[in-house]
């Protein structure tokens, strides 16, 4: 994938294994900022080996926001499924110092386009903690629609927490294997 300019000085590009250490460093730098919305991470998560495993894991795709020197954000699709579902879950974060600049909504818009045009997906879904207003704003700006509330959905910061569920339908064409 070419590098896409998100804002002057910040590009979006697919992560490669060579990014693993920089991704670990970014998450160490942002530990306090991310702690309230993330599952439990043990020390092994913050290593190049674990980040390489995540970048290369099946049914997933990872993009990074890059300021030319450091990784300042990540957007990741997991659970990519084709067939009659053609869907994936999306998760994201941005460096604490880069919040409020619209970087994640812009990145997510580009990833929605890639999901539709290149990955053959019909739908993206996302879940946020009920009090994660910033993330809910990102999803609203990107055309995601709330479709439910999942009680005790994910184990986050030490507790099973309720999540608001959102989805964005990307198009209404049939899956690629179905004749039009």
Ligand X SMILES: CC(C)(COP(=O)(O)OP(=O)(O)OC[C@H]1O[C@@H](n2cnc3c(N)ncnc32)[C@H](O)[C@@H]1OP(=O)(O)O)[C@@H](O)C(=O)NCCC(=O)NCCS
Chain residues binding ligand X by CB under 6 A are 34, 37, 92-94, 99-105, 128, 132-135, 137-138, 141
- Residue pair 107/63 in contact (Cβ under 8 Å)? The answer is yes
**Residue (77 or 104) nearer to ligand X, CB:** 104
d(CA 174, CA 145) in angstroms, rounded, equals 21
Q: At closest approach, how far in Å is the CB of 133 from ligand X?
A: 5
Angle, helix 48-56 to helix 20-29, in steps of 10 degrees: 110
**Residue (102 or 120) nearer to ligand X, CB:** 102
Exposure string over 37-63, b if 16+ CB within 10 A, otherwise e: bbeeeeeebbebebbbebbeeeeebbb
Position of minimal CB gap to ligand X: 100
Q: At closest approach, how far in Å is the CB of 80 from ligand X?
A: 18
- Least Cα distance to 90 among 101, 102, 77, 81 occurs for 77
**Residue (49 or 147) nearer to ligand X, CB:** 147
Beta-ladder partners of 52 = none
**Residue (116 or 161) nearer to ligand X, CB:** 161
Q: At closest approach, how far in Å is the CB of 171 from ligand X?
A: 24
**Residue (8 or 179) nearer to ligand X, CB:** 8
Q: At closest approach, how far in Å is the CB of 91 from ligand X?
A: 6
Q: At closest approach, how far in Å is the CB of 126 from ligand X?
A: 6
* 12: three-class secondary structure by DSSP: strand
- Residue pair 76/40 in contact (Cβ under 8 Å)? The answer is no
């Amino acid at each position: 994938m070419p590098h896409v300019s998100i804002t002057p000085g910040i590009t979006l590009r697919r992560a490669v294994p060579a990014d693993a250490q920089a991704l670990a460093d970014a998450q160490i730098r942002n530990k306090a900022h991310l702690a309230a919305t993330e599952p439990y991470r043990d020390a092994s998560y913050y290593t190049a080996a674990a980040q390489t495993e995540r970048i290369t894991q099946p049914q997933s795709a990872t993009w990074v926001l890059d300021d030319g020197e450091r990784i300042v954000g990540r957007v990741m699709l997991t659970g990519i499924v084709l067939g009659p579902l053609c869907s994936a879950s999306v998760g994201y974060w941005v460096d604490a110092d880069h919040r409020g600049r619209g970087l994640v909504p812009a990145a997510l818009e580009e990833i929605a386009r890639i999901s539709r045009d290149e990955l053959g997906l019909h739908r993206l879904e996302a879940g946020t903690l009920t009090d994660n207003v910033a993330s809910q704003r990102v999803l609203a700006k990107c055309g995601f629609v709330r479709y439910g509330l999942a009680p005790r959905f994910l184990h986050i910061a030490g507790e099973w927490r309720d999540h608001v569920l959102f989805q964005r339908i990307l198009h209404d064409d049939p899956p690629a294997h179905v004749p039009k």
